[in-house]
Every structure is written in C-alpha cells, then in structure tokens.
C-alpha cells in the first residue's frame, strides 16, 4: 500500500475502533498550474498543491461525514470523531450502507489517465503555448484586435479510497488544456468566442495555431448578428451545445432524481422515450478519456451501461443508495467530492455517433437555427420544460448564412428527445459528457 | 479585534514579523505589491429528504495564498500547510512573476478598521447539532402541512465561519470573521396522478443559526417552496416573443446583476472587452434607474467588513438616473486604471486570485405604486421568482430564468405560466424601464455568483419594475 492508501485505511480502522459499524475514507491530492497570457504578455502565473481527506461513517443505519485539510494524526483523529458525532443526530435510513462486497472492485490494466510528463513540463514552454495560441487568433483577421487572453492549465492528482469492507485503491490522473478567447470587432459590434483543447497528455493537445485559428473563426462569424423572428423551426446543435443538452438528459436519468419522482423519465424504463436515432451510453472504461476511472467514488468497479438504445430507455445511472431505493443494481456511477453521501455522476456519458457528417445534416434544412452557444439555459428535470438563451447561425436552403443572437430556444425535453431526427458522425470527447451534432425537428425560437 | 487576538496569531502563532518576512520573500525578485491571504474555514451542513435526516457533514480547510503584482503581471501560489517553510516556498513560487532586484516591504503594519456588519451572538461552533437538525425537521413538516398535494420535501441547513487575515506589502493588515448561514427547501407537488411540479425557496446571509429561530423561520421558507410548487400545478405554457415584462420586487434584481453588474467589473473594462467599456457618463438606462453595489449592508449575504484584498467595502454608485457612473475596482485594475479600489476585490478561497466582483447589487426605489404598474399593462408577463442567469459581457446579451410568472391581461394577473428564459442586451435593456415601484426589496439571501471558475456569495434587490420590451422564451408562439 502507498502512504496515502495506508492513511485512508488507517482512518477507516480508527472509525471502526471508535464505534462505527462501517466507514469509507477518500483522500485527494493535487497540483495545479495555470499561465494566462493577454495581448502577447504574461498576465498571471499560478502554481500550487493541496490535499484533503474525508470520511463517512455508519453507525447502524445512521450516517455522518466530515473532512479536513489537516492530514496529521491529530487532524485525522478529529475528523473521525466529528463524523461519529454527526452520526448520532441523523435518522435511521433503511437504505443507507456501503456497497455489497461483490460489487467492489477496480479495473485492471492501464487506463491511460496519467502522463508523468505533465508534472515535469517546463513553465516557459507552457507560457509559449498560450502565447502562440493567442497570437494565432490575433493574426487571423484584422477584425481581431483584442482578446480576453489565452491560458495553459495543467493538473496532476491522486485519488485514494478505502472502506471497511476491504476495499483499498488509488489512481493518478493528469490533464492539460489550452484555450483562447479572442474578441472580434466591426462597425460597433463586439463578439467573443473561445476554443480549447484538453487532453490527459500534452502530446495529444491540438496545436496552438489550430486552437487560435479555430477560436478566431468562431468569434468572427458572430459579428453583426441579427435577431431572428419568433417562429417554430428546426434546430441543429453543434457538438459543444449538444453536449450541454446531453447534460440535461443526464440529470433526468440520475437515480437521485428518479427515486424522488423528480424526473420526467421516472417510471419509464423499457419505454420508447426518444427517436430511433438516439443511443446513449455511459462508459467509464474507455482508456484516456475524462470520465474514465478504475472504480467509482464508493469503490465499485467502472463499467459500460447502455442508457438509451435506439430510443428505448434501458437503464438509469445509479450508485449503491439509489439502486437500493429502486430495487436495482448499482451502475458504478457513485460520485462525490471528498466527503458526504455519494451522489451520482457521469462516466463518459455520450451519444453514439451517426453516419452523416454535420454538413449533410445542415444541407437537409431549408429554414432553421444552428446553435453555437447556449447561455443561461434552464431545463426543468421534473417536467422536461426547456428554455435557453442562444446564439448561432441561421440556416437557409441547406447553408449557414448570417449570425443570430439575443434569441431563446424552447421546447419540452420529452418532445425534443422524440424529435431528434439526425445524429452526426462528429463525436469528440472534450469532457466527461460528449455529443455529436444533433438535429431537433422543431423548437420554438423567440426573437422579435 | 486586534491581530494578536486573531485565530492566526493565537492558534498558529503567526507574528507580524513573520508576515513581514513572508512578504519580503514574495518581493525578493521585485514587483510593486504583494499580499498574503490566510483563511480558516469551518463548515457544517445537514439535509433531510423523504422525512429522513440523511446527511450531516462538517469540515475544516486552512491555507494561505501569496500574490505578487509586477506591472500587469500577477504571480500566485498557495499552501494548505501554515509552516514557515511551506509559506516561504509559496512566496518564492509567486515571486517568479517578477524579474529584478528585491523590492522593499514597508516595515510595521497599520491595522485597517473594518466595518462591523455581522456581529455574532453565538458563533456556529457554539451551537448544538440538535438545533441544526431541528431546523430541517421543521421545514420538512411545514412543507408537508402546507398542502396535501406536496409529496416530496428536501431541506438543507448549512453554515460556515471563515476567519480571514490579509497582510499587504503596503503595510496594511486586516482581520475578519465572516459567518454565513443558509436554508433551502425543495418541494414536489402533484395533483392525483398528474405531472409533478417543483418549488424552491431559501435564504440566509451573514448570520448564524439564531436568524432562523428569530427572523426567517424554516416554516417561512418551507411554505414559500410549497406555494410555488402548488401554483405551478395550474400553469400554462409561457408565451414567446417580445412583450412588456413586469418584474416583482426582490430576487428579480438578478436582472441588474446580469444586465449591468458584470459588465461594470473593472477587469473587463480595463481590457476593453465589456459592452460597457468606455461608456462612463453615457446614458445606458432610463432616467428612472439608479443602481448601486453596496457591500456594507448589515448581515447581507454579499456584505463584507473588508474585501478579500483587505480593503473596507463601500457603497458604489454604478448607474445614476440612467447615466453610467462607475466601475467595480479591485487593486490590480484600479492601479492600472489610475484610480482607487472600490473594495470590490473578492476571491472564492485562498486558492484563488482576487478579481473585481459584485457584493449586493440593487436599484433604488421609484415612485410608482406596484399595483398601478400592473394595471398599466394591457398584455404582458409578470415575473416574481427566478432561477439563475448568465451574461456574455462582450456582446452584452444576458439571460435569466423565470420560475414563477403570470400572464397580465388588461391590467390584471390571470394565469400562472411555466418556466421560461428571458433574454436582453445589457446596455439596451434598462432603457425600456418605464415605471419603477416604491417597493424596493432585497432578496432572501441565496445568490451565488460564478466568474472564471470562482463562486462567491452575492445579494440583489429591485423594486417592481416595468420593462416595455423584452424577449420572453416560452413555447406558446
């Protein structure tokens, strides 16, 4: 066992000795680096590390949790005592408890979550990456004279988990990201956009030139927007906005919302809830991705779960608690910071790509909206009501034409899922939730 | 409170000499300014769900952030270990931003006299766990008792106490104890086998548990959440398109936060990336609008005795009778813009670099009777409760999400409508304000503002306001 694994297992042991009937301990440590460059000059540099431990104890069916940034023996002792005190005031919850022993486990093999070179990257090199990305954006077009800056961020971390049913495990992870936010101006119109590239290892980042150029193109195409007329029309979500919509779908298949009847998908297992074009998977086992991990935050081995298959709801996403509430098995989706009862979080939650490239999907629309940005969106998971601010490009006769902004798009997720007529081939993972381009047959666009 | 009586001097034996030596280390490679931000944060939260007290969590975090400013450049590092070696190491890392001979730290500290906006009768750690549990149980019972159609209730109570020490190379020292407490209640209601509807309420501020015993009780928040859920049971689809919108008093002040507040933060304006850049002195709102950001209101969620750079907070005039008057400044931007800090430098924690932020943002009351305002609208929407909001400060487009609204038909409120987003443009939207009520209210104390990955508590407030033209994002086109 590593030193931190011993610390976690030791805290669990202390809890049992002090009267807990079960306990689980999470320790996380990490180092972060961030360089910001603006108008070709370094604006800020930040570098530091921190760690923390959390424990959750059960005394019979009552739970209590605490956390600390003090990992000394006294700090751990205080943390354990605080959790036990709290377990005296919570209620008996018949469904509370740790996972069954047979569900505990960890994926074997290299999941490619950690690249040691991230910790050793040269500061000047990282600054240069950000500088080049911003320079590429500034050089792209005379209408780009200003910028919110570019940044290079990296982090490495270790997560450790131990429980009183014999689980001890840990894993390292790393990531680095390059992003730039250029500002385009013309005739009194000012618009910004961004592009970013993120990877577990620096070798897999897009080049600074690509990131800068792409960000510039995105900002430029938003200049001099019009406000569309209020109407019902087809809406195409590009991957970046489709991903936000998929995040709303995640909330609706989250077991915590299901057992409370706080989701419009509660009670719909086995039913057709979406169009045939939609297949949604949660898979925390794919090497190198951002939602990948060997085990979830209560020590259950990661896995692949088909959530929606050709429009039929096949599974909710569950941790041990929500599974027990629903009389189902955990799907290995337990998620938490370092303390408290586990919630439910995504592995790699994605829409399976279709066959058609986005261009072909756009070509099939005579009048509609191509959404490149959502702002302040609100999806009501209980009812499915959906309404969000949007910006993008108007589609006329199969082509992207002028930019539009200051509009909203609205519908109801129940209907929107059934009206996903097309799913693009352009799936890319830039986070734990990922989607290709999707076309929704009709939504209400509100403008002037 | 004197420095020697502060938690950092007592428990961690930090002396003024230590602070001076850390600041000298931070300026060892030059730079004009350095500061240290020590933070000790203790939190506790309790949650009830389905009538079962399912969760109770407590924790402590501790750390120090070291910042060095050299021209427009900022170096930052932090440590969660207050040993002298670790703080010195952080100071040396932050010092990397500067390249030159060492700068001199002013010797001796002048202690800043902060406001005293949130005196505590009892500190959170002096209150029993049972008292906390009782609050969530009361909320649960009250929500269920409100109406038989309520079938799910979740309530949480959370409080924290943050001890903060800021020491600067200019020789300023400030110390503050910042309490925060909040209750929130979520309710689901259903008519027979019909579709469930959801209601949410919450509030608090820089207060302690006593506030929920004496001023705003758990029952107050529980009934409000239940009321909202029940109202929604009869709601019709929200309208779509441009129309007259009347905002009710209080939390709808989030309009100001999104439409003007963010756009007036000095960092964006210094860089020329805000839709309000270079517009001081211009008419950006109707003459009925005067907007203030005020960090000095007693016990308010957004209030601070000193900001997170050790500067006393103040009342800042943003818009006066429609004319743009000022920006919200932190130390860095005010230095570069050759003006003074407005006490608006805030950060989420010791791990974060401060930036200009809002505190409590509100519009002064006008003269109209709120009922006259509604009577004046032949057809429109009256919005009383909102969820969140967001703004693109460069284009100025902002969105905020109404969760409780009513149709106005011939000057009367008729049907409740389902949730919808409202969208507008910052420098334009407030020009359409045609009536301002005499009923200014501040919100209940639940706001969290996010900017560049940092969350800080804020407050908002507004009287009843009539906006002649705004785009409503419903489905009923």
C-alpha distances out from residue A230 to A153, B472, B477, Å: 41, 10, 7
Minimal CA separation from A355 to chain B, in Å: 31
CB contact under 8 A, B57 and A65: yes
Domain assignments of chain A as residue spans, ordered by start: 3-220, 225-448
How far is CA B29 from its chain centroid? 36
Count the alpha carbons within 13 Å of A411 in the hemisphere toward its beta carbon.
21
CA-only gyration radius of chain B, Å: 24
| Cα–Cα distance list, A353 to A280, A287, A428, B211 (Å) | 9, 18, 9, 53
Q: Which CATH architecture has domain A3-220?
A: 2-Layer Sandwich (3.30)
Q: How far apart are CA B390 and CA B258, in angstroms?
A: 6
Burial class (CB in 10 A: 0-12, 13-18, 19+), A124: exposed
- One digit per residue, pLDDT tens: chain B, 477 residues? 678 888 999 999 999 999 999 999 999 999 999 999 999 999 999 999 999 999 999 999 999 999 999 999 999 999 999 999 999 999 999 999 998 899 988 888 998 888 999 999 888 878 888 999 999 999 999 999 999 999 999 999 999 999 999 999 999 999 999 999 999 999 999 999 999 999 999 999 999 999 999 999 999 999 999 999 999 999 999 999 999 999 999 999 999 999 999 999 999 999 999 999 999 999 999 999 999 999 999 999 999 999 999 999 999 999 999 999 999 999 999 999 999 999 999 999 999 999 999 999 999 999 999 999 999 999 999 999 999 899 999 999 999 999 999 999 999 999 999 999 999 999 999 999 999 999 999 999 999 999 999 999 999 999 999 999 999 999 987
C-alpha B281/C-alpha A305 separation (Å) is 58
B422 vs A contacts (CB less than 8 Å): 408
A129 near B CB under 8 A = no
Q: Which of residues 221-240 of B touch A (CB under 8 A)?
A: 238, 240
Cα of A207 to nearest chain B Cα, Å? 24
For chain B, which residues make up each domain, given as ranges? 3-232, 240-473
Query: CA nearest B360: which of B465, B461, B459?
Result: B459
- Token pair for residue B84? 């002298």
CB contact under 8 A, B198 and A262: yes
pLDDT at residue B114, rounded to an integer: 83
CB contact residues (below 8 A), chain B span 298-327, against chain A:
none
Q: What is the value of ipTM here, to two decimals?
A: 0.95
C-alpha distance from A72 to closest chain B C-alpha (Å)? 11
Q: Can you spell out the DSSP letters for B180-201?
A: EEEEEEEEEE-STTS--EEEEE
Which residue is associated with the tokens 């970046």?
Answer: A240
Among B151, B155, B211, B210, which Cα is nearest to B184's? B155
Nearest to B48 by CA among B218, B230, B289, B175: B218
Average pLDDT over residues A383-388: 97
Determine the Cα–Cα distance for residues A317 and A435; give it in Å rounded to an integer. 18
Nearest partner of A70 among A80, A61, A79, judged by Cα:
A79
Q: Which residues, 6+ apart, have CB-to-CB distance to A73 below 8 Å? A: none
Contact B8, B14 (CB under 8 A): yes
Contact between A65 and A55 under an 8 Å Cβ cutoff? The reply is yes
In CATH, the number for domain B3-232 is 3.30.2290.10
Q: Hey, which bits of B143-258 come out as E strands?
A: 150-168, 172-189, 197-205, 240-247
More reliable by pLDDT, A302 or B112: A302
The residues, ordered by sequence, that sit 6+ positions from B167 with a Cβ below 8 Å of its Cβ are B19, B22, B23, B35, B36, B109, B173, B310
Question: Is the minimum CB–CB distance between A80 and chain B shorter than 8 Å?
Answer: no
Q: Report percent pLDDT > 70 for chain A.
A: 100
- Which has the higher per-residue pLDDT, B476 or A381? A381
| Mean pLDDT computed over A327-351 | 97
Rounded (10°) CA dihedral A76, A81, A85, A90:
40
* Residues A70, B242: C-beta atoms closer than 8 Å: no
Distance from CA of A235 to the nearest CA of B (A): 14
B64 touches chain A (CB under 8 A): no
Q: Do residues A65 and A56 make contact, with C-beta atoms less than 8 angstroms apart? A: yes
Tell me the HSE value of A422 on the side-chain side, using a 13 A CA sphere.
24
Could you say which of B58, B272, B401 has the minimum Cβ distance to residue A378? Answer: B401
* pTM for this predicted structure: 0.96
**Residue A326: enclosing H or E segment and its boundaries?**
helix A320-326
Look at residue A361 and tell me whether its pLDDT is greater than 70.
yes
Q: Output the CA–CA distances (angstroms, integers) from residue A18 to A55, A57, A83, A145, B229, in the order listed.
A: 13, 10, 11, 64, 44
Query: What is the distance in angstroms between the CA of the first residue and the CA of the last residue of chain B?
Result: 60
Spatial contact of A67 and A52, defined as CB atoms under 8 Å apart: yes
Cβ distance A90 to B54 less than 8 Å, yes or no, reads yes
Bridge partners, residue B306, by sequence: B312
Task: Tell me which residue in A91, A405, A409 faces B395 most closely, judged by beta carbons.
Answer: A405
At residue B1, the pLDDT reads: 67
- Residue B196 sits at the chain A interface (C-beta within 8 Å): yes
Using CA atoms, how far apart are residues A147 and A144, in angstroms rounded to an integer? 8
């Amino acid at each position: 066992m590593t030193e931190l694994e011993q610390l976690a297992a030791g805290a669990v042991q202390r809890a049992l000795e002090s009267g807990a009937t079960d306990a689980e301990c999470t320790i996380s440590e990490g180092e972060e680096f961030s360089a910001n460059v603006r108008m070709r000059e370094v604006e800020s540099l930040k570098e530091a590390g921190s760690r923390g431990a959390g424990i959750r104890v059960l005394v019979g069916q009552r739970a209590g949790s605490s956390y600390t940034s003090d990992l000394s023996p006294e700090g751990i002792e205080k943390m354990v005592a605080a959790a036990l005190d709290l377990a005296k005031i919570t209620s008996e919850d018949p469904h509370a408890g740790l996972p069954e022993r047979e569900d505990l486990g960890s994926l074997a093999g290299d999941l490619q979550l950690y690249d040691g070179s991230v910790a050793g990257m040269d500061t000047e090199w990282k600054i240069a990456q950000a500088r080049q990305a911003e320079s590429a954006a500034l050089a792209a077009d005379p209408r780009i004279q200003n910028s919110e800056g570019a940044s290079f961020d990296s982090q490495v971390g270790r997560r450790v988990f131990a429980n009183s049913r014999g689980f001890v495990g840990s894993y390292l992870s790393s990531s680095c990201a390059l992003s730039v936010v250029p500002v385009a101006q013309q005739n009194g119109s000012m618009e910004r956009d961004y592009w970013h590239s993120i990877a577990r290892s620096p070798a897999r980042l897009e080049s600074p030139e690509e990131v800068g150029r792409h960000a510039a193109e995105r900002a430029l195409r938003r200049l001099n927007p019009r406000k569309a007329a209020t109407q019902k029309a087809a809406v195409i979500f590009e991957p970046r906005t489709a991903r936000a919509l998929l995040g709303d779908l995640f909330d609706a298949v989250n077991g915590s919302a299901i057992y409370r009847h706080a989701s419009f998908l509660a009670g719909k297992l086995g039913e057709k809830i979406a169009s045939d074009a939609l297949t949604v998977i949660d898979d925390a086992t794919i090497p190198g991705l951002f939602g990948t991990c060997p085990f979830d935050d209560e020590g259950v081995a990661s896995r692949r779960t088909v959530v929606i298959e050709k429009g039929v709801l096949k599974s909710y996403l569950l941790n041990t608690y929500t599974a027990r509430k629903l009389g189902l098995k955990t799907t290995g989706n337990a998620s938490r910071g370092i303390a408290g009862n586990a919630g439910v979080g995504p592995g790699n939650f994605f829409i399976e790509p279709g066959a058609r490239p986005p261009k072909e999907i756009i070509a099939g629309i005579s009048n509609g909206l191509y959404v490149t940005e959502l702002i302040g969106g609100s999806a009501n998971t209980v009812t499915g009501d959906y309404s969000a601010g949007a910006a993008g490009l108007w589609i006329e006769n199969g082509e992207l034409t002028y930019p539009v902004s200051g509009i909203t798009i609205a519908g109801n997720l129940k209907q929107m899922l059934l009206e996903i007529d097309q799913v693009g081939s352009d799936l890319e993972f830039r986070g734990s939730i990922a989607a290709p381009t999707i076309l929704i047959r009709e939504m209400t666009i509100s403008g002037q | 409170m004197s420095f020697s009586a502060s938690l950092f001097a007592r428990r961690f034996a930090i002396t003024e000499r230590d602070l001076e030596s850390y600041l000298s280390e931070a300026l060892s490679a030059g730079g004009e300014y350095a500061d240290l931000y020590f933070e000790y944060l203790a939190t506790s939260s309790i949650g009830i769900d389905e009538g079962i007290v399912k969760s109770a969590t407590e924790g402590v975090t501790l750390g120090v952030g070291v910042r060095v400013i050299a021209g427009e450049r900022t170096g930052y590092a932090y440590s969660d270990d207050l040993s002298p070696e670790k703080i010195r190491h952080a100071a040396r890392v932050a010092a990397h931003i500067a390249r030159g001979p060492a700068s001199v730290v002013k010797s001796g500290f002048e202690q800043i006299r902060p406001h005293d906006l949130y005196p505590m009768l009892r500190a959170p750690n002096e209150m029993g766990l049972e008292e906390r549990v009782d609050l969530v149980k009361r909320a649960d019972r009250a929500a269920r008792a409100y109406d038989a159609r309520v079938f799910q209730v979740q309530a949480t109570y959370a409080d924290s106490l943050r001890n903060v020490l800021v020491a600067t190379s200019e020789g300023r020292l400030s110390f503050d104890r910042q309490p925060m407490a909040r209750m929130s209640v979520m309710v689901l209601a259903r008519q027979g086998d019909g579709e469930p509807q959801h209601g949410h309420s919450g509030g608090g501020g820089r207060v302690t548990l006593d506030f929920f015993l004496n001023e705003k009780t758990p029952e107050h928040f529980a009934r409000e959440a239940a009321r909202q859920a029940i109202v929604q049971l009869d709601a019709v689809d929200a309208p779509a398109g441009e129309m007259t919108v009347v905002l009710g008093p209080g939390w709808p002040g989030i309009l100001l936060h999104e439409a003007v507040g963010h756009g007036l933060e000095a960092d964006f304006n210094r860089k020329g990336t805000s839709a309000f850049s270079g517009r001081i002195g211009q008419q950006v709102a109707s003459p009925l609008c005067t907007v203030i950001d005020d960090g000095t209101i007693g016990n308010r969620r957004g209030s601070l005795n000193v900001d997170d750079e050790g500067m006393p907070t103040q009342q800042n005039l943003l818009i006066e009778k429609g004319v743009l008057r000022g920006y919200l400044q932190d130390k860095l931007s005010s230095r570069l813009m050759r003006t003074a800090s407005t006490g608006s430098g805030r950060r989420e924690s010791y791990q974060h670099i401060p930036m200009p932020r809002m505190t409590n943002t509100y519009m002064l009351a006008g003269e109209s009777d709120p009922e006259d305002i509604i009577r004046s609208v032949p057809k429109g929407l009256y919005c009383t409760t909102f969820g969140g909001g967001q703004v693109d400060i460069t284009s100025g487009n902002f969105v905020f999400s109404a969760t409780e609204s009513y149709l106005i038909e011939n000057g009367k409120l008729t049907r409740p409508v389902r949730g919808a987003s409202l969208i507008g443009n910052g420098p334009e939207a407030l020009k359409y304000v045609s009536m301002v009520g005499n009923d200014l209210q501040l919100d209940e104390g639940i706001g969290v503002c996010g900017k560049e990955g940092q969350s800080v508590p804020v407050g908002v407030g507004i009287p009843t306001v009539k906006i002649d033209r705004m785009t409503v994002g419903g489905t009923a086109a």
